[in-house]
Structure 1
Amino acid sequence: MECRAFKVDAFTDTPLKGNPAAVVLDCPELDRETMLAIAGELNLSETAFVWPERDGFRVRFFTPGDEIPLCGHATVATFYLLWRLGLASEGTNKMFSKAGEIDVLIKNGRVWLKQLKPEVIGELDIGALKVILGTENLVGPALAMTTGTPEGIVGIPTFEELMELEPDMGRLAKFSRENGVIGVYVYTLDSRLDAAGRFFAPAVGVPEDPVTGTASGILAGYLRLTGKLVKDRYIFEQGHALRREGRVYVEFEGERPWVGGEATISLEGRLFFKV
């Protein structure tokens, strides 16, 4: 069997920066185990499998270790690629995912994903997180939230402290599974933009994600909910610790955030395998 495979760097217009995602086209017949094997082989934080369905596109998202319902940077990568190939159009496109039917807007080369209303699904033990993350200086509240994908979020005072974090990945994976989140996003308001962050998701095979779209939507909702920074438009930076800096834009339409960014194609090839 033969599929087209691309590497697309999301949340940046500079190749080899931002967050890389693999996008696999032309293979809707694959079963879950084959998709998971391909994601492990390509070994990026996310691999998206996409094919036309009804009046839009079906997309399934895989980390090297598991399937997840939704991924922001892989959505941006996927629809930027579809737009560049002439398969998706400027304006609103429909994406059908495990998280439901989602609008994806393409405007002036920037891709926007409409996320669900940010919701709190639980409170996290900030004391346990201090031990796991190796710092005494976390800023609460520590919450589990979702805009389609459940993730933990907690603050830290300074950018320097953010860069110095060295989580215990084994304990963080266990903590994440026990609390029903795929990972933990640590943010700081000590940023050139509205905030900077790092996202750790060892529970799904991603020790650190360079630039995270879903977590950015959650962060914007968290900042509004807690009154720490109440705005309708945000710009967040991420990826510094991995030397893959990127920028995420968040704009609210009512209570629902649009998360957007640029992308660039950095690799194209073909994948051959037996099924």
Structure 2
Amino acid sequence: MKLKQYQVDAFTSLPFTGNPAAVCPMESWPDDRLLQAIAEENNLSETAFFVPAEGGYELRWFTPASEVDLCGHATLASSHIIFDLFDHPDPIINFATRSGNLSVKRRDGLLEMNFPAATPQPHPQFETLTAGLGRQPIEVLCAFDYIAVFEDEAEVRAIDPDFTILSKLDLRGVAITSRGSDTDFVSRFFAPKLAVQEDPVTGSTHCELAPFWLERTGINPLQNT
């Protein structure tokens, strides 16, 4: 079997920045063990695989350790390949995924992703999270990740996690966040359980962070780094 694979730096206009994702187009689904082996060898935070389907494509994402339910930057990377290399004729791409139907629209030379919102709920402080982050957040919430809220951007930047401890979390990972100095909010994301210690840019966490900061600030649209 011969497969083509592309590497795309998402969320950037400059090479060697943003968040790299591998994209592997396929005609049909092979055994899942092959998909996982490819992702493990790529050793990127995500490898995306897609196959043609009625009305669009089926899309799946794998970290070096496992398949995941949702990934933003690898969806963006896949859309770039479909629009620009596959000459997709329509302004919208529809994807069937483990998180339901997702769409990506080309608008004014940019790609706009429509992802499901997940409003985070308050969660008690707990020792594993505090120990893993090396300091106690002012607030903890959860959706499909834990969200640890800190006082300011300097504190978010200074955190040096213990990934061995964070790998014991029962959810996918933890996003740390605060109001930003020059943007509406800042964030970082750690998912060592999925063999991703720190993801450079995590689109899927914004399904949680955007509703949280919209409620807190009333700012729409939000900007973050």
- Alignment TM-score > 0.5, same fold: yes
Q: Which moved more, 1:57-66 or 1:108-117?
A: 108-117
Matched-pair contact (CA < 8 Å) for 1:56–1:95: yes
Report deviation, 1:22. Answer: 0.3
Aligned pairs (5 A) from 1:187-266: 187-225=177-215, 227=216, 229-237=217-225
Aligned to 2:118: 118
Report deviation, 1:122. Answer: 6.3
The TM-score, its normalising length taken from structure 1, stands at 0.77
**Local SS of the residue matching 2:223:** strand
Quote the sequence identity (%). Answer: 32
Aligned to 2:151: 157
Q: C-alpha separation between the residues in 2 aligned to 1:217 and 1:12?
A: 20
Report deviation, 1:108. Answer: 2.5
| Aligned length, in residue pairs | 225
Which of 161, 167, 173 is the matching residue for 1:167? 161
Matched-pair contact (CA < 8 Å) for 1:162–1:198: yes
Q: C-alpha separation between the residues in 2 aligned to 1:151 and 1:87?
A: 36
Question: Alpha-carbon deviations, 1:168-188, whole Å to 9, x = none?
Answer: 11211112x2xxx21100012
Distance 1:161 1:52, change over 3 A: same
Report deviation, 1:112. Answer: 1.9
Distance 1:88 1:153, change over 3 A: farther
Report deviation, 1:195. Answer: 1.2
Report deviation, 1:85. Answer: 0.7
Distance 1:171 1:206, change over 3 A: same
Aligned to 1:23: 23
Matched-pair contact (CA < 8 Å) for 2:29–2:51: no
Aligned to 1:139: 138
Runs of 4+ off more than 6 Å: none
Matched-pair contact (CA < 8 Å) for 1:45–1:209: yes
Q: C-alpha separation between the residues in 1 aligned to 2:150 and 2:89?
A: 40
**Local SS of the residue matching 1:33:** helix
Q: CA RMSD in A?
A: 1.7
Distance 1:128 1:29, change over 3 A: closer
Aligned to 2:71: 71
Q: C-alpha separation between the residues in 1 aligned to 2:214 and 2:11?
A: 23
Q: C-alpha separation between the residues in 2 aligned to 1:160 and 1:26?
A: 44
**Local SS of the residue matching 1:211:** coil
Higher RCO (C-alpha under 8 Å, 6+ residues apart) = 1
Report deviation, 1:27. Answer: 4.9
Report deviation, 1:97. Answer: 0.6
More strand by share: 1
Matched-pair contact (CA < 8 Å) for 1:216–1:236: no
Could you tell me which runs of 5 or more consecutive residues in structure 2 were left unpaired when the two chains were aligned: none
Q: C-alpha separation between the residues in 1 aligned to 2:178 and 2:122?
A: 21
Question: Alpha-carbon deviations, 1:91-139, whole Å to 9, x = none?
Answer: 2221011111112212133222212232336625355422210024x22
